[in-house]
Amino acid sequence: MILTSDEKQIILDSIRDIPDFPKPGIIFKDITTLLSNPKAYRILMTHLEKRYTSYDLDYIAGIDARGFIFGAALADRLGIGFVPVRKKGKLPYTTVAEKYSLEYGFDEVEIHIDAFGVNKGKKVLLIDDLIATGGTAKAAASLIDKVGATCVEVCFIMELAFLNGKKGIKAPVYSVLGID
């Protein structure tokens, strides 16, 4: 269940840094190179599958858009459903929304009101590629609870630990890679 230091390094080495994207001073962590590296992606997904097999999850929720990639693949491996948490206006049915703060203003994420069925208390893992300031993740975890499910953990492939984004997330947080 624990990644070796060599496995972590393989995953880390497969993630490309893009300086000054989307604006000057930002170093963007590009996961497209992780996705195109079959060895690194397999190590990552096998690790996540082993970690979450014993959690007895009902669903995985993935945050728009990169959380879809990891969440849907993991849901398939675990034989459970996948639920997208989308940006405002992207879901076709009745939704519940949650606002969150950005550096300059606000944004919103939504989930279908019946995303986890009619029975309350379904166990859900929330997943995304990266946590920075944590606003989107906090909003998404809150949405899971609002529609009657339980967010049992929030998982990130990478955590920019120096930004302390997991502060305020009520569910436990697991990050595969910590970036200082």
Residues carrying an active site annotation = 66, 103
Structure tokens at 17: 């840094």
Q: Within 13 Å of residue 42, how many CA atoms lie on the same side as its CB?
A: 3
Torsion of CA 168, 169, 172, 174, to 10 degrees: -100
Give the C-alpha separation, 168 to 137, whole Å. 10
